[in-house]
């Protein structure tokens, strides 16, 4: 009976959907080095993502069939010396029943044997991981396998008013976060910490997903810049920066807010504030983007009244950030802080340095008129 259960779990890691896509999660080795690989066959076109279990960094490949039961997978990189794409590494593997064998070769001509078989998920501690949402089941298995067994090291304990925080970092990426020790009821703390752990793991996963995509030059930094805790909300400002290949590095805002009463993340600023004075629309509504335009106008009008100089349209458009442009406020970043509600503009990638202006706080006394009357919450009296 136990053997049958293990076989069933292994089979769950392989699926074929109605769109002609076959996905496999395999584990095995390149030479003596253990790996996990996610293989996707989409109408005859092969794509793969794999990581060494020791390092966990994604390496992505593309390939093609080389006969009825063989495939070739390659990773190409740009060579600045020749201004051409060159092969960085390749797999030539052959399927026998459910297993794949063959060889791996890098650009220096080093070749190692490859052995892969369907993953046995009973060997991993998935129960320790927070809940995630994945594109499909196989992606979930691959990601959970990579994140299984992470080591967290406790750092300092700090206080924020009556709230006590335990800081910790992941041993390999050095990414840091915190959990709450006290200051709320036990059930509240449990729910809040569940969200904090999920956000922590997602930041770590982003690091592993990014760095391996550009050989040894990949970088991913994620830092908690500030946080604000009140009886109503836990708001965390998170800044990310990365280079995963391509023409330019990137920067982003992964700030988030948790409703302390429900212990759930506030998914949208529209849950709390109705800046247009009307009930917000969702993406399912036909006029959603009309609503977004109206919300942007309302936000720009509020900020222009508060910060007329900073919001003024620049004379030299080429070298200045235009915070008066409505589209830069369509999907703003946001979080609570002592100064009030922070709302950050989001610019196109090429002008990403204009993101997150320092000035754009809406004081709490002005926010009260925009509060969603259908949600019970209080704003700080600051």
The mean pLDDT value for 363-371 works out to 95
pLDDT range class, residue 15, cuts 50, 70, 90: very low
Residue 158's pLDDT band (cuts 50, 70, 90): very high
Q: What is the pLDDT of residue 18?
A: 39
CA distance 275 to 114: 58
What average pLDDT does this structure show over 263-280? 95
Residue pLDDT, tens place only, 289-331: 999 999 999 999 999 999 999 999 988 766 678 999 999 999 9
Q: Check residue 9 and give its pLDDT.
A: 36
Reduced to 3 states (helix: H, G, I; strand: E, B; else coil), residue 59 is strand
pLDDT value at 93 more than 90? yes
Phi-psi region of 283 (alpha: psi -120 to 50; beta: other; left: phi over 0): alpha
What does the pLDDT average to over 208-216? 74
* Residues 37-52, mean pLDDT to the nearest whole number: 92
The pLDDT assigned to 216 comes to 57
Closest among 90, 77, 79, 88 to 245, alpha carbons compared: 77
Task: Quote the pLDDT of residue 211.
Answer: 82
Give the per-residue pLDDT at 213: 67
Domains and CATH numbers, the chain: 2-128 (2.40.128.120), 150-265 (3.30.565), 269-370 (no CATH)
Q: Give the residue from 13, 24, 31, 15 showing the smallest Cα distance to 46.
A: 24
Q: What pTM was computed for the model?
A: 0.88
Query: Once rounded to an integer, what is the mean pLDDT over residues 229-256?
Result: 88
381 — pLDDT class (breaks 50, 70, 90): confident
Helix (H) or strand (E) holding 367: helix 364-367
């Amino acid at each position: 009976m136990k053997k049958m259960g293990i076989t069933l779990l292994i089979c769950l890691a392989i699926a074929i959907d109605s769109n002609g896509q076959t996905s496999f999660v395999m584990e095995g080795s390149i030479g003596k080095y253990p790996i996990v690989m996610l293989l996707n066959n989409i109408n005859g076109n092969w794509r793969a993502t794999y990581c060494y279990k020791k390092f966990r960094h994604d390496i992505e490949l593309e390939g093609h069939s080389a006969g009825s039961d063989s495939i070739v997978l390659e990773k190409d990189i740009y060579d600045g010396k020749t201004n051409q794409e060159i092969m960085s590494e390749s797999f030539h593997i052959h399927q026998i029943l459910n297993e794949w064998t063959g060889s791996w070769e890098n650009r220096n001509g080093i070749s190692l044997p490859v052995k892969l078989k369907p993953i046995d998920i009973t060997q991993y501690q998935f129960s320790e991981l927070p809940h995630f949402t994945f594109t499909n089941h196989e992606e979930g298995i691959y990601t959970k396998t990579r994140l299984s067994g992470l080591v967290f090291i406790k750092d300092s304990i700090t206080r924020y008013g009556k709230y006590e925080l335990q800081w910790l970092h992941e041993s390999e990426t050095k990414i840091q976060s915190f959990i709450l020790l006290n200051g709320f009821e036990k059930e509240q703390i449990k729910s809040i910490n569940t969200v904090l752990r999920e956000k922590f793991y997602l930041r770590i996963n982003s690091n592993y997903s990014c760095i391996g995509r550009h050989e040894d030059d990949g970088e991913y930094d994620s830092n908690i810049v500030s946080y604000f805790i009140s009886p109503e909300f836990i708001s965390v400002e998170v800044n990310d920066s990365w280079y995963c290949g391509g023409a330019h590095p990137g920067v982003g805002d992964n700030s988030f807010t948790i409703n302390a009463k429900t212990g759930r993340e506030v998914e949208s600023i529209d849950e709390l504030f109705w800046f247009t004075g009307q009930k917000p629309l969702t993406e399912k509504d036909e006029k959603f983007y009309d609503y977004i335009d109206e919300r942007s106008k309302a936000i720009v009008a509020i900020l222009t009244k508060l910060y007329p100089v900073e919001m003024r349209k620049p004379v030299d458009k080429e070298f200045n950030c235009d915070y008066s442009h409505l589209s830069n406020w369509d999907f703003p970043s946001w979080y609570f802080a002592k100064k009030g509600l922070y709302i950050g503009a989001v610019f196109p990638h090429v002008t990403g340095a204009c993101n997150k202006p320092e000035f754009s706080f809406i004081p709490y006394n002005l926010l009260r008129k925009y509060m969603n009357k259908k949600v019970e919450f209080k704003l700080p009296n600051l």
